[in-house]
Every structure is written in structure tokens, then in C-alpha cells.
Structure 1
Amino acid sequence: MATEAIPTTQLRLASPNGIVTRTILKTPLRDALPSEMPIIDISPTFSPSLEERKAVAQQVRAAAQNMGFFYIKNHGIPADVTRDAYEACLAFFRQDKDIKMRADSRKAKWENGYRAPNTQRLNPYEGIDVRESFSYRYDPRYDDTVGEQGLGEIPEEVRRYLRCEEYPWEKTRNLPQLKESLTRHIGECLRLARALTRCFALGLGLDEGCFDGKVRYPDASYGLNYYPPLERRTGDAADNERVSIGSHTDFQLFTILWQDSQGGLEVLNKQGQWLRARPMEGTLVVNLGDLMQRITNDEYVSTVHRARNRSGRERVSIPFFWGFGLHETCGVVVGGEGEKRYGDVRCEEWVARRIRDMKSVGDMI
């Protein structure tokens, strides 16, 4: 007896190879299995034992080769630091719009600050994102490895790529805890990201410090996303339901994500099925970006994901995007004698190219 074919639909989105189309299975949304998105205890990453660090690096390697998404626990970011950032985030977004608009990112030199509803669309084919956001680019003053005392030592070739500014803090002085809580959390994210960078290096069979110089002054960005609940639909209209943030891949090395208990993160597996990445108490989600896939010769996977807040309540997520400094250059770092699919690329050009790719999608609609 012939098996009835599963209905499908098409998803178009920007990629490092231009606009691509993915075939999506119209199957019920299901939870990601541990074999798809494992929970990895990364406490050995901070161990003095090289063998213990290598052991956890192999777990990370397996997850990176599979779906490029995994949870981490025992990551070292204190719970009270995350709680304070979350509470400061809610305090900001629950204000009247006119107060939030004081920190309008369009008025900032480097677009740090607030983005209002109906102003963002990561995938124009899916419509405007149903979210508000607040973002802040890497600032060496809040990096424990640099700090105020080390600002004078930053080379000029690095300094001209820094995109930090006081604007968002000046415009949110009515909430003094916002700057204090967020910059403290940013400092913890920087520490964790550097540890994970060394872990990834070990998993690739490289010296664990081989990328240290490239993330001395990283291309990093800290964000707050605020998602009101989406309207629930049934029938054919459900296929066209608006998204909280559209389907996309991230640009640089990897992203560290904290999400609240409401859920909404969805990950597209290789078979074209959307999976729930449910919140797990005490964990963070890590997902790989396009540059990581490139420098590993496509051995590691940068996977399409999106968010849909269908909880009926407000939802918050806090992503931390991490990559090599924009002044750096990097090529394929693995593969032995095999063919390298990609040449060297300046990180500044890579990020600019990916932004152009995404904007070009909107121009074609």
C-alpha cells in the first residue's frame, strides 16, 4: 500500500549563497529530541584538566555537526545576574512608547538602542516581525579583559571598528538599573563566549588558544527582544501566521541565548520540520552562525530558526551574538589535505555581505 505523501510548503530566505528555498513539512510542531538538541554540561570547560576540556569539546563538536543547536548548563553565569537583566528588560519594555522612543536607535550614531514595533523584518517573505528590541554593540569598557584602563592600548585598526556609544544609557537614565544590570550581564556573556571559543577550537583539533587573538576585540552584540503574544489562527490561515522574528541564520561564529519560560524558539531540522526548542531551567541555548560553518568547511551547521510567541503572554529573550573582530581575516581552519570550499574573508566584509543579502530579499518583494 502506498504511503500518503506529507504535504509541504516553501520557505524563502536569505543565505550566504543568496536567496534559497527550503521545503517545509506541514507536520505538527514537536519538541526537539535530546539527540537533536542535547543538554551539555560545560563545567569541564573551566577545568584545569586538558583531558576534561577535550571531553566536553567533543560533545560540542558532535552537536555542531548535527544541528548546530544545543543547550548548555553549568555555564557559570550567576542566576542573579541573569534575573536582574531580565527584570530590567521588563521594566524598560513595559514603559509607555514615548518614553522608550527617547532611546530610538535610528537617532544613534551606531544604531544602539531601541527598535519600536513594526520596524524589523528578518525575513520579509514572512512579514514584519512582531517584536520590540533593544541592542548594544561590544564596548571594551565593560569587558574585564580591557576595561577603562585598557582603552588607550586598543590599536587604531581596531578602534575604528568599534560601534559603542553612550547614547542608549543617556536616554534611559530614568531606569538607572538598566545600564547597571545589562552591562554586568554583558561582562558575563563575554567571559562565557571566550570560554566557548576555546572549546570550539579544541573540538576542531586545534590549539585551544588559536582564536584568542581574533576575539580580543570581538564583533559582539547584546540584545533584548520583547515579544507580545501572536494571534492564534486555525485552518489555512495558520500557514501564514505572523512571526515574532522571521526565519534566518545568524551571521558570525555563534549566539548564546537566554529565553524566559514562555517558549517560542523554533529550529528547522535537515528534513524540513520545525522543532520546538523548549526553555530548560538553568540552561542557555547555543547556536552556530554562518561564519562558523564557513571556516569549518561546512562541517559545522548554521541552522535556520525563528520565534513565534504563541503562549498568550509576553515573552523575552536575550541573545548575545559573538564573532571575530571586524578587523580580522579568517579562512577555512580544518580539512587537512582536502579541498577548501572557501577562501579567506575579512570579517568586516563578511558581516556587511550578509546584511546586504538580507536587505536584498526585501528589495525583491
Structure 2
Amino acid sequence: MATVPIIDMAAYGLDVASDDDVDLDTLRPLAEELYNALRDFGFCHMKNHGIKQSLIDQMHAANRTFFEKPMDYKNTYLRPHDGQLHGWVPFETETISAARSVDNKEGFSYMPSDTIEIWPDVEHFESSVKEVYTKSHKLSLRILDLMSIGLKLDDKHYLRKCHQLISKKGNITLMRNNYYPPIPTDREINPIQARIGEHSDYGSLTLLYQDNVGGLEIQTLDGEYAPVTPIPDTVLINIGDLMQRWTSDQLKATKHRVLIPDDVTRRSKVRQSTAFFILPDEEVMIECLDNSNKYEPVSSKDYLTMMLKPTY
């Protein structure tokens, strides 16, 4: 079992009305604790972040209602293949790991900057997704402030400023609701299939809201995978590839996965999660902050385009 640190965000969570209400002396120890946790694990749980569990539960309940509807209904809300990301992603149409077959899941993506939004007529679906996105956006900016302080950058808002277009044109920060359906007992399991294969996320950071079913595993320093037990009322945070490049490997994007359970009882359970993928503005150049030039500069847009090509 991976003992992922728990960070108490109370001093800078969303229950604090204004960012300016908290001075640097208060933020610095919290920033150092967050930086150390992400340096050592690539992941951490965050409590007292200010997003109510009841809202997450309401969103997951509405999502489940949608995902359990017939294929013909869901096809109405299919993600278009014209560069836009908003919409339904059908079951077994993505391959996140080249070493595995298609992922055993489906999803629904939301990105406010897309010009077309089509929403299922499921109670609380649209409203809860939009509210979680808005709150995650606000929380992510505060986490980026803490990251800037933890990295000892001169401007505590440096990373925030690199993400100022979240939810607008010019930034493709995306929220994805994932649904892992029950696996019938008579289905033959492909040995190289996973619910989602081994991968690191592509952006700066990811906020992950899990249900209580579990299944997420992260790669430890010795290269083995260990399960991460969900903790109620927390959000799980992890580093993405672009943050690793920015920090010249001070912070590393930890690989993670969700396997198909060996246990038949666990296979029969629905699993749900919501990932808020935080990306820098498209034109931001990701250059090593320590001037080491360990990685070649790349724009946020170009890196994401390169990484997404093999997925579909």
C-alpha cells in the first residue's frame, strides 16, 4: 500500500474567501509541505480544500445515470472529431498505454472553451459538472501559488500567470468523468487489457476525485506499483509531464494505472473518478526554471498535441 501524504489545505482552501487574505509567512510552510510530498511521491491527498463531498457525490450519481443509458442515447452526445474535446467518449475507444489494448472504460469530457456544448438531459449532470469545474479551477490556481512558493520562484503567482486562460480560448484544461462498468462474469479477460493502462499525465497537475471503490495504483521509487486507498473528503493531486520538464525533474510525473481486478466480486462493481487536468496556456513555453536546459523548450499546445496522437 502506498502511503501517500495528506496535506491540510485549510489555510488556503476555498473556504478562505480571498487569495489576498493569506500572507506569505502563512503560505510558506504549507507550500514546503506540498512541494516535499510531490517531490517524494508525485502524489498527495489534500483535505480541507473547500469542495464539498456532497457535490462530488451528486456529480458521480448523475454521471452514472448517463453512462447506464442505452448506446443510442449516449451517441447523441458523442465527442465530435473536429478538435473539440467536449462530449461522450465511448467504451473501449482510447488506448493510453502502448503496451496494452484499449482501456476498459468510457468517459465524458468538459472543456468550457469548446464552441459546442451538448448536455445530457439528466438531472444535475450539467450543473454539477460545471460547478465542480469552476471550483477545481479556483482551487488549482491556489495550488499553483503554493507550487511557485515551494519552488522558491521570485513571484508567488508565476505558475498562476502561466494558467490565466483556464476555461477560456487558449487553454485546454479539461475535466473528464471516467466510468468503469461492471465486467460480466462470463467475459474472457484480455491479459494485456487494463481499466486504464500505465501512464503519466501530460500537463502541470491533475486533481482527481475518486469514489470509494479503489483500484488506482501508483509506481513507487523501486518501480513497483502499489494501491492508493481513497480517502473521503480529499482530492488526490499528482504531477504531470510539463511540470516535470519545468522543474528539471525536481518533481516527477509518477506513472499510475487501474487494473482489471482479479477478484470477481470487485469486477462486478462500478468504478467512477473525475480528473481535472490542469494545463498551461497553449502558447506558454515550458522552459527549465533552473536554466539547466535539461529539456528543450516546448509550448503547452505542441506537447499535448504530440502526446494525444497515439491515444485515439
User: What TM-score results when the alignment is normalised by the length of structure 1?
Assistant: 0.75
Task: Give the number of the structure whose alpha-carbon radius of gyration is greater.
Answer: 1
Match of 1:74 in 2: 48
Give the drift of 1:210: 1.3
* Mapping of residues 252-263 of structure 1, within 5 Å: 252-263=203-214
Length, aligned pairs only? 293
Structure 1 partner of 2:247: 296
AA aligned opposite 1:354: M
1:220 to 165, 168, 173: 173
TM-score (norm 2): 0.87
Q: Find the aligned partners of 1:117 and 1:320 in 2 and give their Cα distance.
A: 20
Equivalent residue for 2:68?
94
CA distance in 1, matches of 2:251, 2:116: 37
Is the 1:292–1:300 contact (alpha carbons within 8 Å) kept by the matching residues of 2? yes
Once the two structures are superposed, what CA deviation does each residue of 1:14-48 show, in whole Å capped at 9, x if it has no partner? xxxxxxxxxxxxxxxxx112xxx101111223461
Alignment deviations for residues 88-134 of structure 1 (CA, whole Å, 9 cap, x no partner) = 11111121121111111145661321111121111132111110111
Unaligned runs of 5+ in 2: 14-20, 167-171
Which of the residues 157, 160, 175 maps onto 1:209?
157
Q: Is 1:42 aligned to residue 16 of structure 2? A: no
Identical columns (%): 25
Q: Which amino acid in the other structure matches residue 214 of structure 1?
A: C
2:273 aligns with one of 317, 324, 327: 317
Q: What is the 5 A alignment of 1:212-251?
A: 212-218=160-166, 219-230=172-183, 240=191, 242-251=193-202
Give the residue type in structure 1 aligned to 2:116. Answer: E
CA RMSD of aligned residues (A): 2.3
Residue 2 of structure 2: aligned partner: 32
Aligned to 2:39, which of 65, 80, 83?
65
1:347 counterpart residue number: 300
Matching of residues 143-154 of structure 1 within 5 Å: none
Deviations along 1:203-243, one digit per CA (max 9) or x if unpaired, are: 0001211123211103310011000245799xxx9993521
Q: Deviations over 1:113-172 (max 9, x none)?
A: 1111121111132111110111012x2xxxxxxxxxxxxxxxxxxxxxx4x133322xx2
1:264 maps to which of 197, 215, 222: 215
The equivalent residue for 1:130 is: 104
Correspondent of 1:273 among 224, 227, 244 = 224
CA distance, structure 1, for counterparts of residue 79 and residue 200 of structure 2: 23
Instruction: Please report how far the alpha carbon of residue 66 of structure 1 lies from its aligned counterpart in structure 2 after TM superposition.
Output: 1.1
Whichever residue aligns with residue 150 of structure 2, its letter is G
Partner residue in 1 for 2:147: 200
Per the alignment, do residues 106 and 74 of structure 1 end up closer, same or farther by CA in structure 2, a change over 3 Å counting? Answer: same
* SS in structure 2 at match of 1:225: strand
Q: Distance in 2 between matches of 1:229 and 1:126?
A: 20
Question: Post-superposition shift, 1:196?
Answer: 0.6
CA distance in 2, matches of 1:83, 1:95: 19
Q: Distance in 1 between matches of 2:83 and 2:110?
A: 12
- Report the 3-state secondary structure (helix = DSSP H, G, I; strand = E; otherwise coil) of the residue aligned with 2:282: coil
CA contact (8 A) 2:99 2:192 kept: no
- Distance (Å, rounded) in 2 between the aligned partners of 1:280 and 1:41: 13
Q: Find the partner of 1:184 among 131, 137, 151.
A: 131
Greater fraction helix: 1
Code of the aligned partner of 2:11: P
Residue 117 of structure 2 aligns to which amino acid in structure 1? Answer: Y
Secondary structure class of the residue paired with 2:76: helix
The 1-side partners of 2:118 and 2:182 are apart by: 26
Q: Give the Å deviation of 1:176.
A: 4.9
Q: In 2, distance between residues paired with 1:355 and 1:314?
A: 26
> What SS does structure 1 have at the residue aligned with 2:252?
coil
> What letter is aligned with 2:87?
G
SS at match of 2:174: strand
Q: Does the C-alpha gap of structure 1 residues 231 and 269 become closer, same or farther in structure 2, counting only changes over 3 Å?
A: farther
Match of 2:16 in 1: none
How far residue 332 of structure 1 moved from its aligned partner, in angstroms, is: 1.2
